[in-house]
Chain A
Amino acid sequence: MILHLSVDIFIGGAMLGALYALVAVGLNLQYGVTRILNVAHGEFLMVGAYLTYFCFTLFGMNPFASVIIVGPFMFLIGLFVYMLLLGGMVRSSRSGEELEFRSLLLCFGLSFVIQNLAIVLWTANYRGYEAFSLGMIDILGANFEINRIIIALISIAINVFLYLFLRFTKAGIAMRAAVEQPDGAQLIGINIFSICAKSFSLGILLAGWAGTLISVLYSTINPFMGTPYTLIALMLVILAGIGSFKGNIAGGFAFGYLTYITMRVIHPALTLVVVYAVLILILLIKPKGLFAR
């Protein structure tokens, strides 16, 4: 019994953690580079989920394959939003603080628009789709859906690719430079505006992919599904420290274990309470996040 539970917690928490890390990594990248706290993150995630749904129902596309469509599409949406709304604000804001505040409220307005547009276009009903189910697997007496394991592995793979991208490509290195020293980056000839636009769009793309995976995981989608993930992503960014990639992964897993243990051992309804309480505690001890430099 104890063995079952501990295996269950060990693997279940890790699977949740991998997903959380993916949900938050886009927001962390966006905020780290552009200083725009995109509180519409969950709404973009929801759009990604709907795109996956339509790819499946209209064209019979495998949800995992639909990332090829969802990715570029979300990237373009991100680019559009940045060019149309945020770029001008970046130029007209007089200080970093002002930009943070104004962009926060703007993204809040944006989340209204996206969510309610989704309600008008696609109705507020839950839509379910059984993409595929590979059944259950038994690991040392604890049962897991194979779907979930695949999703966790894909989340980890996306995170690894992102890490390699940030580490070894020119654009990725420029992004990291922009996180660490925005002024210095400009001095050595990095076009900050273009890097900000790319990072923002990349964040939206990652949100869309997270939406794809989440829609497969729970096999239902609705226009309100994104909001809890916005909160998770926000908390993870705070927990991890802004612009810290490793912190994001570690924080994601810590969060995953925390919620999973609360769910299994204490009470499912208490998950959010425990999560917030821990977040507040961490902020009290380390006001700039656990992994802040």
Chain B
Amino acid sequence: MSKTKISAYLKWSPLLAFIVLAFAPLFVKTYYLTLLTSVMCWIGLAVSWHFFSGTTKYISLGSAAFFGIGVYITAIFSRILPLPIVFLLAAAINFFFAFCGVGLVTLRLKGIYFAIFTFGLAELLNNAILFWEMQVTGTRGRFITSVNVYYPILIITFVIIFSIIILRRTKLGLALRMIGECEDAAIHYGVNTTFYKILGFAVSSMFIGLLGAAFAPRWGYIDSGMAFNPLYSFMPAIMTLFGGVGTVLGPIVGAVVISLLEEYLLTTFKDYFMIILGIIMIIVILSLPDGMTGKFLRKAARTTEGRG
């Protein structure tokens, strides 16, 4: 009895979180606001990454490519167009780039080949843009009119989380889960796996690009090295692994913990930050194969099973 009540309340907790976060700028110091912005951006990235790669086990290390495209679209168009239209444009371009340019031709690749291909893609874009800027236009990087991105990131992250919660229940989400469990079975069952893989990849990339576009105005100045930083490829994967694969909650928990940890380490042990982060990563991968939420969820499942 009481259990159903609790879960009924839990259903409203995302909305509560949204309201609290929406009013946070009135009470919170600027430093914490900046921190919140990046934490939310990481949450969005991890959740989007998990939607395709976590579910299907096609590990993409190319998030940085789509994030960077988003950043560059904002850098190019933010002076001509209003920001919301720029964001929509970024989402559309990323979707089509991922769908036609990448998805159609590459999802024949499996396992490690797919991972390295996507990683190469981000590096290719990074180097191609660097070359273009140095040799053709003779510049390095671009200036963006600096804007407070708290609200755009807040709204986009929540939109992403809710869309993904809904999408996971649609045909697309179910197909992706089936591909992750057993792709051959999915094919035999009559699922058009290639189509759903491409669609899932495109949706996930669209969200990542959207976040890149929304995050860009925070910097004021960007170059290809910042926009296509490989950290944007690896961190979502690590956060998801840390939090646990299989639920929407896992990547969120992972993103919050890892990004706060990163901030703490960066401010207190500046020189040793990367070493400690690396060691923590290793320990997590070794000791928590299912992530933090994995252990918790399994325990919860076991207790309910025992009762039932």
Interface residues of A (CB under 8 A from B): 31, 37, 85, 88-89, 92-93, 97-98, 100-102, 104-106, 108-113, 115-117, 120, 231, 234-235, 238, 267, 269-270, 272-273, 276-277, 279-280, 283-284, 287-289
Measured CB to CB, the closest approach of chain A to B114, in angstroms, equals: 9
Q: Which of A92, A272, A284, A288 has the most CB of B within 10 A?
A: A272
> Which of B109, B120, B131, B286 touches A106 (beta carbons < 8 Å)?
B286
Could you tell me if B275 and A120 are in contact, using CB atoms closer than 8 angstroms? yes
CA gap between A31 and B108 in the complex, in Å: 21
CA gap between A280 and B134 in the complex, in Å: 24
> Which of B108, B123, B128, B286 touches A89 (beta carbons < 8 Å)?
B286
B277-294 interface (Cβ within 8 A of A): 277-279, 281-282, 285-286, 289
**Could you name 5 residue pairs across A and B whose Cβ atoms are closer than 8 Å?**
A110-B282, A112-B277, A117-B275, A276-B123, A283-B106
Could you tell me if A106 and B285 are in contact, using CB atoms closer than 8 angstroms? yes
Could you tell me if A235 and B275 are in contact, using CB atoms closer than 8 angstroms? no
Could you tell me if A113 and B279 are in contact, using CB atoms closer than 8 angstroms? yes
Measured CB to CB, the closest approach of chain B to A216, in angstroms, equals: 27
CA gap between A184 and B164 in the complex, in Å: 44
What chain A residues lie within 8 Å of B135 (beta carbons)?
267, 269
Task: Tally A-B pairs: CB < 8 A.
Answer: 112
Could you tell me if A101 and B275 are in contact, using CB atoms closer than 8 angstroms? no
Measured CB to CB, the closest approach of chain A to B272, in angstroms, equals: 7
The chain A residue sitting closest to B281, CB to CB, is: A109
Given contacts A89-B285, A116-B274, A287-B113, 11 further A-B contacts (CB under 8 A): A85-B282, A97-B111, A100-B112, A102-B289, A108-B281, A112-B274, A120-B272, A269-B135, A279-B117, A280-B121, A283-B109
Residues 106-141 of chain B, each 1 if its beta carbon lies under 8 Å from chain A, else 0: 101111110111011101100110110011000000
Measured CB to CB, the closest approach of chain A to B146, in angstroms, equals: 29
Measured CB to CB, the closest approach of chain A to B234, in angstroms, equals: 6
* Interface range on chain B (Cβ under 8 Å from partner): 35 or more
CA gap between A231 and B233 in the complex, in Å: 15
> Is B238 engaged at the interface, CB distance under 8 Å to the other chain?
yes
The chain B residue sitting closest to A116, CB to CB, is: B274
What chain A residues lie within 8 Å of B57 (beta carbons)?
97, 101
Measured CB to CB, the closest approach of chain A to B111, in angstroms, equals: 6
> Is B237 engaged at the interface, CB distance under 8 Å to the other chain?
yes
CA gap between A288 and B111 in the complex, in Å: 10
The chain B residue sitting closest to A112, CB to CB, is: B278
What chain B residues lie within 8 Å of A272 (beta carbons)?
123-124, 127
Q: Tell me the dominant secondary structure on chain B's binding face.
A: helix
The chain A residue sitting closest to B117, CB to CB, is: A283
What chain A residues lie within 8 Å of B278 (beta carbons)?
109-113, 116
The chain B residue sitting closest to A120, CB to CB, is: B271
What chain A residues lie within 8 Å of B124 (beta carbons)?
272-273, 276-277, 280
Measured CB to CB, the closest approach of chain B to A112, in angstroms, equals: 3
Could you tell me if A273 and B116 are in contact, using CB atoms closer than 8 angstroms? no
Interface residues of B (CB under 8 A from A): 57, 59, 105-106, 108-113, 115-117, 119-121, 123-124, 127-128, 130-131, 134-135, 234, 237-238, 241, 271-275, 277-279, 281-282, 285-286, 289
> Which of A102, A277, A283 touches B113 (beta carbons < 8 Å)?
A283
Could you tell me if B113 and A284 are in contact, using CB atoms closer than 8 angstroms? no
CA gap between A131 and B121 in the complex, in Å: 38
What chain A residues lie within 8 Å of B131 (beta carbons)?
267, 269-270, 273
> Which of B105, B115, B273 touches A284 (beta carbons < 8 Å)?
B105
Could you tell me if A108 and B234 are in contact, using CB atoms closer than 8 angstroms? yes
CA gap between A283 and B127 in the complex, in Å: 19
What chain B residues lie within 8 Å of A117 (beta carbons)?
275
Q: Which of A116, A235, A269 has the most CB of B within 10 A?
A: A116
What chain A residues lie within 8 Å of B241 (beta carbons)?
101-102, 105
Kindly list the 9 A-B residue pairs having the minimum CB-CB distance in the complex, ordered from nearest: A112-B278, A109-B281, A113-B278, A276-B124, A116-B274, A272-B127, A109-B278, A109-B282, A116-B275
What chain A residues lie within 8 Å of B105 (beta carbons)?
284
Could you tell me if B121 and A109 are in contact, using CB atoms closer than 8 angstroms? no
CA gap between A231 and B123 in the complex, in Å: 10
Could you tell me if B120 and A37 are in contact, using CB atoms closer than 8 angstroms? no
Could you tell me if A235 and B116 are in contact, using CB atoms closer than 8 angstroms? yes
What chain B residues lie within 8 Å of A88 (beta carbons)?
286
CA gap between A279 and B119 in the complex, in Å: 11
CA gap between A97 and B241 in the complex, in Å: 14
CA gap between A278 and B190 in the complex, in Å: 35
Q: Which of B105, B275, B279 has the most CB of A within 10 A?
A: B275
* Known contacts A116-B274, A269-B134: A105-B237 contact under CB 8 Å: yes
What chain A residues lie within 8 Å of B108 (beta carbons)?
287
CA gap between A92 and B234 in the complex, in Å: 23
CA gap between A13 and B140 in the complex, in Å: 31
Could you tell me if B113 and A85 are in contact, using CB atoms closer than 8 angstroms? no
> Which of B111, B120, B289 touches A279 (beta carbons < 8 Å)?
B120
What chain A residues lie within 8 Å of B112 (beta carbons)?
31, 37, 100, 104, 238
Could you tell me if A238 and B113 are in contact, using CB atoms closer than 8 angstroms? yes
> Which of B117, B123, B234, B285 touches A102 (beta carbons < 8 Å)?
B285
* Known contacts A272-B127, A280-B124: A115-B116 contact under CB 8 Å: no
What chain A residues lie within 8 Å of B237 (beta carbons)?
105
What chain B residues lie within 8 Å of A105 (beta carbons)?
234, 237-238, 241, 281, 285
CA gap between A231 and B122 in the complex, in Å: 12
Measured CB to CB, the closest approach of chain B to A38, in angstroms, equals: 12
